Every structure is written in C-alpha cells, then in structure tokens.
C-alpha cells in the first residue's frame, strides 16, 4: 500500500483500501456473541468504531475519561440502533489508579471479554507529567494501555478458552512511530524535560504501542492462548486528538488534503482488525488501510520489545508501591 493506493483508494490484497469505511469492512459480520472494550470510544474514530461494532451486534463497553460525553454518545447511537448494547465505564489512562478501578468495575459486571481495542490517546501535548509522575504521552498512550491489557488478560484467556472464539487485542499506533527519538525508546530519559519534543514523544509512544503488541503476541503464542494481538495506523483524520496542534494540522491538511480520511474511513482498519474473519490466527502484524504494512526497524526489534515490556512492568510495580 503506497502513496498511489492511499490517494486512489484502490483496495489491497485484503479487498479493502484507504477509501473503505468501517461499515464496509464489517459488512455481513455477526458480532452478537462478542463483548468488546474500546478505550476512548466516545469521540472521533473511537465513536465510529463503537457505533459500527454495536451495529454489528457486539456488546460494547466504552472506557472513557469523560463519562458524560460517553453517555451522550451512547444515546445518539441508540437513537439510530435501538437494540445496540452499550455500557459506559470511567477510565483515565494517565492514572494507574483509574486503570485498576476500571478493570475491577468491568470484572464486577461478570461479562466475558472477547476483544480489547486500545484506541484512546493524546497527541503533541506540551510537556507535563501524569498524576503518577510519568511524561503524559508515554503514560497515556502506552503505559495505561499496557497496564489495562495485563489486568484484563486473564479474563480474555478465560473467555477464549470457554467460548472457543479467538480473542483479539488491537493497539492503535500510527505512522508517527517512524519519527521518534534517536534511541527509539528513551528508557533513561522518559521524563527528561530539557530534551522533550512533543512530536518525538508522540512517535515514541506509538512505537511503544507496536512493540507492546508484538511482545504480548509472542508471549501468548508461547502459552498457546487463543488470542491475537495486532497494531494499526488509522490514517490522517482531523479529530479532537489534534487539539494541541490544530492550527498546524489545518495548514498541513491544506497542502496534503488528498492524503486525509474522513472518520468512517479512519475507523475502518480498527474494525477490520477486530472483526474480520480473514484475520483469524493473524498476530503481531501492523495494518494500514486494512492491509499488512511494514514498520520501522525499531518496531521489529524483538530485544527492544522485551526490554520495553520489562521496563513497563517494573515501572507499574514501582508506581504502585509509591
């Protein structure tokens, strides 16, 4: 899938391309036996992903920091799809305490969990630390999702084993993973303010999303768990994610408008990775426009992936003790 395919919308080997929408890639798929959690499912491509998954019959749990907005989004969906099954639970990914509370609340519902879509994120924000004292983009985009996934993993394994249905985890990454710090992941300088770059910090967090998916996939395969883990790039879409760089993005879009997608197109690859039967057994892959796509050398570095896993695991444990 090159620039020509992106511009033209021509489909790739999957039969879909940059012009495909979330509804198109899930056409005729029955998801009525699935329970799905999506972080950040109340706005932007997360909301469209929620709408389409619910339209296909899935029971969708929106994990959102702003529960008022999430419940409003839920009502809008229900107005058009009265049988949609949607619940809302509070989740602030920049807070490990909130992540733990969300996982406990979900488990209290006594529901199965087939699919986890790690969709929420923050982009190009000025330097600041999370309540746990971690650089905000790394904390929100990677560490919160890393911890959340680990907390929900036993439930996903149990669901896959008892139902016989393959579990799927989808990490929303970005082509921005190509633009990161020189070391890829700055393990010794995660919180370094003096050398902070909002763009490179975002790229670092998106690289972390791919490395997390690849290492988790490796571990699950070793266990023989019936769960796949993939990462996706949704494309260039003007959403609230760009609130810290809105003017810059508007100018960029003016000169590169043919490369941009609308929201239904932006949600397509997430929905494809979550539901399409053609991806059964496919794991540790990166998808762009619903087709497998190569990543950076950093993203395919198995040692770096393991190092990030160990670093993240130790960081979570140390923050819980403090």
**CATH code where residue 42 lies:** 3.40.50.720
pLDDT at position 45 over 80: yes
- What confidence score (pLDDT) does residue 239 get? 46
Q: Among 9-13, 172-176, 244-248, which is the least confidently predicted range? A: 244-248
**Domain with 205 in it:** 3-234+264-321
Question: Does residue 259 fall inside a structural domain?
Answer: no
- What confidence score (pLDDT) does residue 202 get? 97
Q: What's the number of domains the chain is made of?
A: 1
- Distance separating alpha carbons of residues 168 and 271, to the nearest angstrom: 11
Question: Does residue 246 fall inside a structural domain?
Answer: no
Rg of the chain in Å (alpha carbons): 18
- What confidence score (pLDDT) does residue 252 get? 46
pLDDT at position 100 over 70: yes
pTM to 2 decimals? 0.93
Question: Does residue 251 fall inside a structural domain?
Answer: no
Question: Does residue 293 fall inside a structural domain?
Answer: yes
pLDDT at position 160 over 50: yes
Mean pLDDT computed over every residue of the chain: 92
Cβ pair 159, 110 in contact under 8 A? no
Question: Does residue 98 fall inside a structural domain?
Answer: yes
Question: Does residue 255 fall inside a structural domain?
Answer: no
Catalytic annotation, residues: 196
Question: Does residue 248 fall inside a structural domain?
Answer: no
- Distance separating alpha carbons of residues 97 and 124, to the nearest angstrom: 24
Q: Among 106-110, 248-252, 259-263, 298-302, which is the least confidently predicted range? A: 248-252
Question: Does residue 239 fall inside a structural domain?
Answer: no
How confident is residue 236, by pLDDT bands cut at 50, 70 and 90? Answer: confident
């Amino acid at each position: 899938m090159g620039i020509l395919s992106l511009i033209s919308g021509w489909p790739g080997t999957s039969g879909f391309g940059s012009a495909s929408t979330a509804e198109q890639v899930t056409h005729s798929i029955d998801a009525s036996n699935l329970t799905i959690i999506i972080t950040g499912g109340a706005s932007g491509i997360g909301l469209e992903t929620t709408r389409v998954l619910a339209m296909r019959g899935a029971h969708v749990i929106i994990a959102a920091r702003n529960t008022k907005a999430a419940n409003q989004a839920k009502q809008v969906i229900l107005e058009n799809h009265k049988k949609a099954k949607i619940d809302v639970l509070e989740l602030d990914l920049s807070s490990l305490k909130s992540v733990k509370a969300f996982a406990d609340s979900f488990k209290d519902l006594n529901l199965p969990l087939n699919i986890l879509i790690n969709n929420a994120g923050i982009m190009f924000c000025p330097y600041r630390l999370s309540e746990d004292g971690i650089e905000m983009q790394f904390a929100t985009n990677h560490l919160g999702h890393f911890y959340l996934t680990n907390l929900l993993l036993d439930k996903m394994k149990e669901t896959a084993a008892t139902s016989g249905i393959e579990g799927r985890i989808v990490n929303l990454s970005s082509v921005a993973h190509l633009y990161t710090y020189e070391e890829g992941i700055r393990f010794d300088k995660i919180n370094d303010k003096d050398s902070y770059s909002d763009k490179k910090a975002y790229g670092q967090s998106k690289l972390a999303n791919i490395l997390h998916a690849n290492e988790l996939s490796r571990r699950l395969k070793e266990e023989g768990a019936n769960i796949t883990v993939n990462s996706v790039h949704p494309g260039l879409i003007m959403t609230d994610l760009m609130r810290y760089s809105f003017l810059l993005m508007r100018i960029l879009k003016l000169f590169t408008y043919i490369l941009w997608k609308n929201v239904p197109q932006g949600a397509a690859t997430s929905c494809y990775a979550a539901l399409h039967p053609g991806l059964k057994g496919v794991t540790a892959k990166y998808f762009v426009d619903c087709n497998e796509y190569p990543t950076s050398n950093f993203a395919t570095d198995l040692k770096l992936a393991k190092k990030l896993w160990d670093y993240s695991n130790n960081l979570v444990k140390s923050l819980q003790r403090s």
